[in-house]
Amino acid sequence: MRIVDLSVPIGEATLSPPSVNLQLQMTSYHRGPGFWQASKIEMLLHTGSHVDFSKHTVEDGETAVDVALDRVFGPARVIDLSHVGPNHEISVADMEAHAQAIQPGDIALVRTDWTEKHWGNFPTYYMKSPYCAAEAAQWLVDRGARAIGFDCFSEYCARLPDFTSEDFIIHKVILENGAILMQQMTNLSQLPLGEQVQFFAPFIKIDGAEGSPARFFALVED
């Protein structure tokens, strides 16, 4: 078995989504006479690879402390949409053609290869990414996917400077139907097609947090 890291690197050059448009800032503190460092980070919780919980769109929704790890650990299948281009709307037709293997309880990983090709190229990464139609997200929820991950910027309205809470439709469809949303994945091209892999999305257990940075990874056979 080998580990495939499915997470992006982040640093002070990393921008959050345009919906908030914050830049990560890290401040380090040092003491001598040798070397000692302790750092703090200021960033949006939705920067880089992260997990979203229902508190993101529901006032009394689940936060990071409410979500058991078994909801983001387990068998996963890749939905191969690596053929799609910039600004492609992921549709029900895409799901029907490429996601029929998804079974109840699966973790669905939507592969476009967008993050592999464009992560770090801001704002292009956000502004030209493939995105998901609400009906396609509902299709995956109806198939019984317990968590859904994207290697692109899945929510179209989040690239816009002016939107309402009700425009956040992909998040609402997934999170308000009991599934978990995982975003800014990468390296899905390194996972096998047509078979399950063991997937893991450990996140930080922050009380009251509607999302959390995550270190996505999968185990695959050599």
Distance CA 15, CA 9 (A): 12
Report CA 136 to chain centroid distance, whole Å: 16
Lowest model confidence (mean pLDDT) among 10-19, 80-89, 110-119 = 10-19
Residue tagged 């399950």 (tokens): 196
- Domain 2-6+46-220: give its CATH superfamily: Putative cyclase (3.50.30.50)
Give me the residue spans of the domains in the chain.
Answer: 2-6+46-220
User: Is the pTM value of this prediction over 0.85?
Assistant: yes
Mean pLDDT across 188-197: 96
**pLDDT at residue 161 above 90?**
no
Residues 6+ apart with CB under 8 A from 82: 111, 112, 113, 189
DSSP state, 59?
T
- Cα–Cα distances in Å, from 179 out to 138, 146, 204? 11, 5, 18
Asked if residue 151 lies in contact with residue 110, where contact means CB atoms within 8 angstroms, the answer is yes
Both tokens of 216, joined, read 């996505």
The model's pLDDT over 71-96, given as tens digits with 9 standing for 90+, comes to 999 999 999 999 999 999 999 999 99
Does 113 have pLDDT greater than 90?
yes
